[in-house]
Amino acid sequence: MLITNADIIALMLTVKLAAVSTIILLIIGLPLAWWLARTHHRIKSVIEAIIALPLILPPTVIGFYLLLAFAPDKILAQTWLTVFDSSLAFSFSGLVIGSVIYSLPFVVQPMQSSYERIPELTLKTAASLGANYWDRCFSVLLPMTRRATLAAATLAFAHTMGEFGIVLMIGGNIPAETQVVSIALFDHVESMAYDQAHGLALTLLVFSFTILLSINILGGQSKPRFRHASM
Amino acid sequence: MLRCDLTTQLGDFSMQLKFALPSKGVTVIFGPSGSGKSSLLNMIAGFDSPSLTSTIHFNNQIWYAQTANGKVQTNTPIQQRKIAYVTQSPCLFDHLTIKQNLQYAIDRQHQKPINDQKDYFSLAGVSHHLNISLLWEKFPNQLSGGEKQRVAIARAIVSVPQLMLFDEPLNGLDEQHREQILHHLEQLHQHFSVPMLYVTHNMEELMRLADRVLVLQQGSILAQKDIAEVLSDLTLPFSRHHQAGAVIVAQVHASEKNYHLIQLSLGDGGFLWVNSPSEEHFHGKEIRLRIYAKDVSISRQPTVNSSILNILPANIIDIIGLGKGQSIVKLRCYQQTLLARLTNKSIAQLELAKGDQIFAQIKGIAILGAGLQ
């Protein structure tokens, strides 16, 4: 079993991709989930279906359409080029966009059902005690759904770590830019370097198990957590 | 002054109310379920909005204004109405301890409590009064229903609102918890000058807390009167209730300490003797009394050598039959109104009729607000 410098670079890049994607996912996903939890708008079902698509579509399908959208003659790619002076295809930014779309249901769906369980009356009571909109978000809504948020973020992070199909389509295989662990592993297998493949595979296996274990512990710990809290 | 002119339509239910209430004392909103009591409170709190032309004013603030063409001109957000609303479910914040729940309200206090009430509105003060000091470090999910409701009331108090709203806060609690909280609410009424609106359909709560009553029926106002008037109005359902009676507010005139008796003035030189376990009743103090209709009997002559202390001259104002051989007799006794429940046979034998001068014998009087002292 062997882990090379290139593998470590791929690992670091994957963690960075997962971290950046998770932060963006929370920024986009939490308000979106909150809106879906409270709205009665007709468009709600359409949005819900679009968000759920990555659960069903093969990642290569999403990757294919993103690849088309990232082509230099398309509006998205051109706008990106004007604003950030860089191209989207085969870039880290492109991977982040792909990952965010790919992992969005893993944040939005659990958060939406978590927000739906918060009684409207509790939030209105907070308002009657003098809390304005943002105060209610930070003093009631976020703390009350803290565990769900943590679980959703962890899941999004882990899911991005294991991404393969989209990266394969839009990322290419550029070390330190788009070569993530799953791609590097695929490379090792293709070139029959099984020792190196073992090293990466085992690292990812242990990592994923740790994450799932921590989600389970977080999820099943409601009462003891309350007892330990103090002023 | 709270002025409401509300029109709303919720499916089959429509509501049209217009009333003004003074900014002090307890107004009980009374009515059967489905009469619109909770909807009214929700609209005053800003939890709901009326659907048609409506205005809500509190003192010099406009809380809600919707014009005839359906345009909502003003809808003051809940947090700017400076109210406290205790609903049937306590709505405590599950992620905070009891102490933190109270601190949440203190951190966002609507106004500074006036100096001599500072203690009552402090964390320690309110916890002492509502007997929740021992619960401080607990979380809401570790509390019983009655404990949660006491914390919810305490949290509402320490927010120092300009108007307090209660929506059947004692629903679903057992007798012991009801009595405890009712006692606290009576104390609150005595200590604290903030106006309160209290929704209930319970006769006991009505008699003990109300200064005035707004009676609702199917989304409109059936009556708006002082508690004494509403209880003795023979056209309203209260006089037919098995707990029917009179509530009297009277001043202490004298006392006989060795007998634990106080003498209360009924006006026009009439007095009432009441047994009082407390010795805090100084001259001039206002005391709230309840006299059940079943505890008042009538005689043509003043009974002599009776054990009954209070035998007072009175006039019969009205008599209505309750069915099943009983009637309610409305009496004027000095400046007060009393009810007496008599059998139809007694009425026939004494030949009682409207306008008759008779003597009322009062067998039982309860001082309200003294509660658990």
Per-residue pLDDT tens for B293-311? 999 999 998 888 888 889 9
- In this complex, how many residue pairs, one in chain A and one in chain B, have their CB atoms less than 8 Å apart? 66
- Enumerate the residues of chain B whose CB falls inside 8 A of the CB of residue A125: 85, 87, 91
Find out whether B367 and B327 touch, Cβ atoms under 8 Å. no
Closest CA–CA distance from residue B98 to any residue of chain A (Å): 10
- Enumerate the residues of chain B whose CB falls inside 8 A of the CB of residue A131: 79, 108
Residue B372 is predicted with a pLDDT of 38
Instruction: Kindly tell me if the per-residue pLDDT of B328 is higher than 60.
Output: yes
What is the number of structural domains in chain B? 2
When the candidates are 1.10.760.10, 1.10.3720.10, 3.30.70.1350, 2.40.50.1020, the CATH number that belongs to A13-176 is 1.10.3720.10
Residue A1 is predicted with a pLDDT of 59
Instruction: Kindly tell me if the per-residue pLDDT of B252 is higher than 50.
Output: yes
Do B164 and B283 belong to one domain? no
* H-state helical runs in A87-177: 92-116, 120-128, 133-136, 142-144, 146-161, 165-170
Domain-embedded: residue B180: yes
Do B265 and B210 belong to one domain? no
Residue ending a domain, choose from B173, B206, B240: B240
Do B152 and B277 belong to one domain? no
Do B117 and B253 belong to one domain? no
Do B64 and B182 belong to one domain? yes
Q: Which residues of chain A have pLDDT under 70?
A: 1, 219-231
Residue A229 is predicted with a pLDDT of 36
Average pLDDT, chain B: 90
Instruction: Pick from A114, A121, A123, A129 the residue to mutate for testing the B interface (most B CBs within 10 Å).
Output: A129
Residue ending a domain, choose from B207, B222, B240: B240
Whose tokens are 């002090």? That residue is B24
Q: How confident is the model at residue B176 (pLDDT cuts 50, 70, 90)?
A: confident
Cβ-nearest to B108 among A121, A131, A231: A131
Mean pLDDT of B142-161: 93
Q: Is A142 on the interface with B (CB under 8 A)?
A: no
Domain-embedded: residue B195: yes
Q: What is the rounded distance in angstroms from the CA atom of residue B111 to the CA atom of residue B163?
A: 12
Domain-embedded: residue B107: yes
Q: What is the rounded distance in angstroms from the CA atom of residue B94 to the CA atom of residue B212?
A: 36
Domain-embedded: residue B258: yes
Cβ-nearest to B79 among A119, A131, A231: A131
Instruction: Kindly tell me if the per-residue pLDDT of B279 is higher than 80.
Output: no
Which residue segment(s) compose the domain that B86 sits in? 2-240
Do B339 and B286 belong to one domain? yes
Touching B: A residues 102-131, CB under 8 Å: 119, 121-122, 124-131
| Residue A205 host element (H or E) | helix A194-219
Nearest to B208 by CA among B86, B369, B21, B337: B369
Residue A163 is predicted with a pLDDT of 84
Q: Is B93 on the interface with A (CB under 8 A)?
A: yes
Do B232 and B265 belong to one domain? no
Q: Which residues contact B37 (CB under 8 A, 6 or more apart)?
A: B29, B30, B31, B167, B199, B201, B216
Instruction: Pick from B43, B58, B85, B91 the residue to mutate for testing the A interface (most A CBs within 10 Å).
Output: B91
Q: Which amino acid is at A207?
A: F
Q: What is the rounded distance in angstroms from the CA atom of residue A187 to the CA atom of residue A114?
A: 40
Residue A187 is predicted with a pLDDT of 85
Residue B37 is predicted with a pLDDT of 92
Structure tokens at B248: 């009297």
Q: What is the rounded distance in angstroms from the CA atom of residue B210 to the CA atom of residue B212?
A: 5
- Enumerate the residues of chain B whose CB falls inside 8 A of the CB of residue A224: none
Q: Which amino acid is at A150?
A: L
CATH code of residue B301? 2.40.50.100
Residue ending a domain, choose from B184, B205, B240: B240
Do B200 and B302 belong to one domain? no
3-state DSSP call for residue B169?
coil
Q: Is B91 on the interface with A (CB under 8 A)?
A: yes
Average pLDDT, chain A: 86
Q: How confident is the model at residue B177 (pLDDT cuts 50, 70, 90)?
A: confident
Do B78 and B185 belong to one domain? yes
β partners of residue B84: B164
Do B84 and B200 belong to one domain? yes
Do B23 and B132 belong to one domain? yes
